[in-house]
Amino acid sequence: MTQLPSSTDRKMGLVIDLDTCVGCHACVISCKGWNTENYGAPLSDQDAYGANPSGTFLNRVHSYEVQPAEGHAQLIHFPKSCLHCEDAPCVTVCPTGASYKRVEDGIVLVNESDCIGCGLCAWSCPYGARELDQAEGVMKKCTLCVDRIYNENLPEVDRVPSCVRTCPAGARHFGDLGDPDSDVSKLVAERGGMDLMPEMGTKPVNKYLPPRPKDNVEDQIDILAPLLAPVAEEPKGFLGWLDKTLEKL
Amino acid sequence: MHPAPSVIIFTTLSGLGFGLLLFLGLGLPDVSGWIAFVFFAIAYALSVGGLMASTFHLGHPERAWKAFTQWKTSWLSREGWCAVIALIVMGLYAIGVIFLGQRWSLLGWIGALFSLLTVFTTSMIYTQLKTIPRWNMKLTPAMFLSFSLAGGALLAGQVRVALPLLLIAALVQILYWKKGDKALEESGTNLGTATGLGDRGAVRAFEPPHTGTNYLLREFVHVVGRKHAEKLRIISFVLAFVLPVILLLLPFGHFFALLAVASHLAGVATSRWLFFAQAEHVVGLYYGKR
């Protein structure tokens, strides 16, 4: 079971647009909401309303500042979840066969009834995509909403991962990255989609679209700028006298 | 990495226990009857005790037997097999030596080989992880094996073998620390490659995903205690190697031998604490914690 398939029929995955993400964390909330009450054990929280809350999440949004050699710094919001790697190290390290990659669509899943909660798969993942649920003692990870994408009880528009359905900015895309003619593959080709930590040799399926170059801000912000200069002339007459008198006091 | 007591106890004790089993399998010392019983009892207490400790950190220890199924790909599974085979074979060998006055040397050799393989497979669980550059090097198995052999020889009372083995282990330890300190930098992984944004400029973690902590930070981003690392290295080195070597050079007696073993054990445990506490998992980069 923990041998990786030599190839998968499809490579279902996400394309995340770092240019469009506004960092609202809606995908984090919808992911937790859907996945805590569907596939597998719930995503538990510890001390949720106390002083030191902590919980299991399958998707988290970081924010980074990039400072180029010249010009202004840029803030980039950075959602991160399982990348459903082709060479997933989390699958081969599993001693029980609980962790596996599906041949039909390449989704990496955990069979929770076989998981002994040793944590080795989380150790082997460079992306922090796996979290051991503290209440259940089993490993939780993104399922690519495997219980939504093929679910014929849902309207067709909802048959995408919860995070993709929710994103208000349209920064998340879902599709078959193994098919060069799919919309997501075209998007990756057009925008120069990239892998995270390619040197780890994990061959992630999920791709990230880099932020587009920003306009150069010249010294002159606007042709109207000179007209916006503050107008402060020396006061004359009574106000001038008052100003001088108050100054002397 | 979080230095969990369960894994430190496990690698320290079972490393020593399987090291002793290896020497007993080779017939060093050549004992029988009650003396042999004491030696085997110590070896089994250490190796089995260590293995039991390793199950403490499991979320579902009752399913641990399933870990024997994936030996084709998983080093953890291979370790389980090697340990069970070594313990069974050495158990049969021990029955012959203790109760029947028989030395089935082929069985002893096989048991010794699997004892060594158990230590090697344990080390490979850590060595295979590219995510932890400090572990992902050939010196990791070299360290586990040299420690186990030196400790085993010490426990088996093989002074003439123990001395050179302790010196080799000490050398490997120094090399491991030296190379390990540069491992993360030399791996080429940084926040730039982690985010794919490195070619645009200097990347800085601006906001974490949440205000509190999480499993990833607790498990992989251990920074407490690193400031004492240098001192702990010296303490561990003196206890594990310097003191035992001095004690072995003194006229041999049971008291000095016991002291040498206790000192070595404390030193190896400290070294193992550092092995975990100092290991940097690359996921910490995403949190700006490197």
Write out residues 12-41 of A within 8 Å (CB-CB) of B.
18, 23, 25, 28
Arch. (CATH architecture) of B5-286: Up-down Bundle (1.20)
d(CA B41, CA A115) in angstroms, rounded, equals 33
Question: Given CB atoms, is B183 within the 8 Å cutoff of chain A?
Answer: no
Question: Cβ separation of B60 and A116 shorter than 8 Å?
Answer: yes
Q: What is the pLDDT of residue A219?
A: 63
Are the Cβ atoms of B67 and A118 closer than 8 angstroms?
A: yes
pLDDT number for residue A246: 84
A41, A143 Cβ separation under 8 angstroms: no
Query: What count of Cα atoms within 13 Å lies in the side-chain half-sphere of residue B139?
Result: 19
Whether A187 contacts chain B with CB within 8 A: no
Q: Which chain A residues are within 8 Å of B189, Cβ to Cβ? A: 126, 197, 199-200
ipTM: 0.92
Average pLDDT, chain B: 94
CB distance A93–B76 less than 8 Å? yes
Residues of B within 8 A of A70 (CB-CB) are none
Give the pLDDT confidence score for residue A248 in this predicted structure. Answer: 84
Per-residue pLDDT tens for B241-257?
999 999 999 887 888 88
Interface test with A, best of B125, B200, B213 (most A CBs within 10 A): B200
CB–CB of A197 and B193 under 8 A?
A: yes
> What are the start-end ranges of the E strands in B128-279?
202-207
Phi (first) and psi of residue A121, to 5 degrees: -65, -35
Token pair for B280 = 């940097």
Closest CA–CA distance from residue B23 to any residue of chain A (Å): 29
**What are the residue boundaries of the structural domains of chain B, listed by start?**
5-286
Report the pLDDT averaged over residues B116-128: 97
Mean pLDDT computed over B38-49: 96
Architecture per CATH, domain A12-209, reads as 2-Layer Sandwich (3.30)
Q: Taking Cα atoms as reference points, which of A140, A45, A135, A123 lies closest to residue B212?
A: A45
Instruction: State yes or no: pLDDT of B207 exceeds 90.
Output: yes
pLDDT at A26: 97
pLDDT mean over B261-275? 96
Closest-CA distance, A171 to chain B, in angstroms, reads 16
pTM of the model: 0.90
Size of interface A-B (CB pairs under 8 A): 197
pLDDT at B226: 72
Question: Is the confidence at residue B8, as pLDDT, over 70?
Answer: yes
- Per DSSP, the residues of chain A read --SPPS--S--EEEEEETTT-----HHHHHHHHHHHSSSSS---EESTTSSS-EE--SEEEEEEEEE-SSS--EEEEEEEE----TT-HHHHT-SSS-EEE-TTT--EEE-TTT-----HHHHH-TT---EE-TTT-SEE---TTHHHHT-TTS-GGG-S-HHHHH-TT--EEEEETT-TTSHHHHHHHHHT-B-SSGGG----SSEEEPPPPPPP--SS--TTGGGGS---PPP-HHHHHHHHHHHH-
**Res A141: pLDDT:** 97
| Model pLDDT, residue B39 | 96
> In chain A, which residues have pLDDT < 70?
1, 216-221
Give residue A154's identity as a one-letter amino acid code. L
Condensed to tens digits (0 to 9), the pLDDT of residues B67-88 reads 999 999 999 999 999 999 999 9
